[in-house]
């Protein structure tokens, strides 16, 4: 008689772990790759090419905000003239942009 008013609670059948249970995790990894990882790798590659292409006479800006003209290029460091008779030695990796020739004269 009690079965008439209250239904029996039966356990759900056990499901086998498979590809469908890992699908949301795989999709999340793919989204992270295309939104975060891939652009960062592309940007690092461009910066590496920029640093490799530094030559004497290039007008540059550093991450710290220094503007100057390259006087000497070494393996890891460059000497930059930031004003007349003022030279500083900085790491190549700190260069953020190369300006077109003559830009520093207009500033």
17 versus 30: the higher-pLDDT residue is: 30
Percent of residues, the chain, with pLDDT higher than 90: 70
Closest CA to 72 of 62, 80, 83, 82: 80
pTM passes above 0.75: no
In a domain, 5, yes or no: no
pLDDT above 90: residue 10: no
Domain containing residue 96: 55-107
Q: What is the pLDDT of residues 22-66, one digit of tens each?
A: 888 999 999 999 999 999 999 999 999 999 999 999 999 999 999
In a domain, 82, yes or no: yes
Closest CA to 82 of 97, 69, 63: 69
Looking at the structure, do residues 43 and 60 belong to the same domain, yes or no? no
Write out the two tokens for 45: 């590659």
The SS3 call for residue 34 is helix
pLDDT of residue 20: 76
């Amino acid at each position: 008689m009690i079965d008439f008013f209250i239904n029996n609670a039966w356990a759900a059948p056990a499901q086998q772990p498979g590809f469908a249970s890992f699908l949301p995790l795989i999709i999340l990894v793919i989204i992270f790759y295309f939104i975060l990882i891939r652009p960062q790798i592309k940007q690092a590659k461009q910066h590496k090419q920029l640093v490799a292409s530094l030559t004497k006479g290039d007008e540059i800006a550093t991450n710290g905000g220094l503007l100057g003209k390259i006087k000497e290029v070494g393996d890891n460091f460059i000497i930059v003239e930031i004003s007349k008779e003022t030279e500083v030695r900085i790491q190549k990796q700190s260069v953020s942009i190369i300006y077109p020739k003559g830009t520093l004269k207009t500033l």
